[in-house]
Amino acid sequence: MSELLKIDHISYSYHSLEGETPALFDVSFNVMDGEFLGIVGPSGCGKSTLLSLIAGLLSPSCGSIYINGKDIKSSGKNIGYMLQKDHLLDWRNTLKNVTLGLEIQHKLTDNSYVQINDLLNTYGLITFKNSYPSELSGGMRQRVALIRTLLLEPDILLLDEPFSALDYQTRLEVADDIWGIIRKEKKTAILITHDISEAISMADRVIVLSSRPGTVKKTFDINLSIENRTPFAARSAPEFKDYFNMIWKELNHNEQKE
């Protein structure tokens, strides 16, 4: 695996008349090609800010972000970003929601419809092609949002607490779904969550951020001794509890210092 993304000593502060809010401080880490990276941290520690920086929606106050060794602005690489909620547009049906990104980037061709049909078929949405978001379940909506992102053929997928709006049971199902899709499409992904179990069950590596201003506290490589790993199966791996305790301690330690 080669290095795909390099976060190099970045800091970021929000400015308002009430003052400056340092959100991230001196964050550095790398992401390998094809890796599934989990990032956990207390709420408000700058996780969403970090993804906005990687997606190029914000520019770091200091430091740089590289993809394949090139600065992110000039790399020409596509970055897919899934927000906390699916944000399907309720006046568009499934098909029109899925094509939104392609429309915006003027990449919608007859060929894309073949690909869209394939994806909708594979992920159990084909019968809901003409349905409106209000007719879809939470899990289906999340999958539509993911397909909308995948169609832009991102080199890196950013997921910002994508399951936090779902109830617990749906959450486990959708985590399996989304994880399966990402693995099958061989995408590099960064998953943000404040749910430790979710991070361990899905990621190859978990980074723990400190509370605000966020900085990298510790990194855990997740090695689970189970076959046919899925997020759900991972939860019953013997090492799962140990990882949970280690990460929990790291997060908690961090809170006490505050």
Partner 1 sequence: MSRKNRNVSSESLDISTAQLAFIRRHVLRTRRIRIYQIVILIGFISLWEVTAHYGILNSFVFSSPSRVMKTIISMGASGQLFYHTGITLLETLVSFFLVNFLGIAVAVILWWNYSLSKVLEPYLIVLNSLPKSALAPVFIVWLGNNVKTIIVAAVSVAVFGTIINLYNDFKSVEEDRIKLIHTLGGNKRDVLFRVIIPSNIPSIISQMKVNIGLSLVGVVIGEFLAAKAGLGYLIIYGSQVFTCVYILVLFRLPLSIYLCLNRLIEI
Ligand X SMILES: Nc1ncnc2c1ncn2[C@@H]1O[C@H](COP(=O)(O)OP(=O)(O)O)[C@@H](O)[C@H]1O
Question: In the complex, which residues of this chain contact partner 1 (CB under 8 A)?
Answer: 55, 57, 80-81, 83-85, 87, 89, 91, 100-101, 103-105, 124, 127-128, 137, 140, 148-149, 152
Closer residue to partner 1 (CB): 91 or 168: 91
List the single partner that 14 binds among Mg ion, ligand X, partner 1, none, CB under 5 to 8 Å by kind. ligand X
- Whole-number Å distance between alpha carbons of 148 and 181: 13
Task: Please answer whether residues 138 and 60 qualify as being in contact, where contact means their C-beta atoms are separated by less than 8 angstroms.
Answer: no
Question: What minimum distance in Å lies between the beta carbon of 104 and partner 1?
Answer: 4
Window 10-39: contact mask with ligand X (x via CB under 6 A): ----x-x----x-x----------------
List the single partner that 141 binds among partner 1, ligand X, Mg ion, none, CB under 5 to 8 Å by kind. none
Q: Residue 49, interface with ligand X (CB under 6 A)?
A: yes
CA 50 vs. chain centroid, Å, equals 11
- Whole-number Å distance between alpha carbons of 193 and 47: 8
Which residue stretch of 45-53, 63-71, 168-176, 203-211 sits at the interface with Mg ion (rule: CB under 5 A)?
45-53
Across the beta sheet with 36-40, the strand order is: 79-82, 156-160, 188-193, 36-40, 205-209, 216-221
- Whole-number Å distance between alpha carbons of 152 and 129: 19
List the single partner that 212 binds among Mg ion, ligand X, partner 1, none, CB under 5 to 8 Å by kind. ligand X
Question: What minimum distance in Å lies between the beta carbon of 234 and ligand X?
Answer: 24
Q: Residue 21, interface with Mg ion (CB under 5 A)?
A: no
Residue nearest to Mg ion (CB): 48
List the single partner that 23 binds among Mg ion, partner 1, ligand X, none, CB under 5 to 8 Å by kind. ligand X
Secondary structure string (H, E, C) spanning 4-17: EEEEEEEEEEEEEC
Q: Residue 205, interface with ligand X (CB under 6 A)?
A: no
Q: Residue 48, interface with Mg ion (CB under 5 A)?
A: yes
Written as six digits, the tokens of 146 are 């993911």
Residues that bind ligand X (CB under 6 A): 14, 16, 21, 23, 41, 43-49, 212
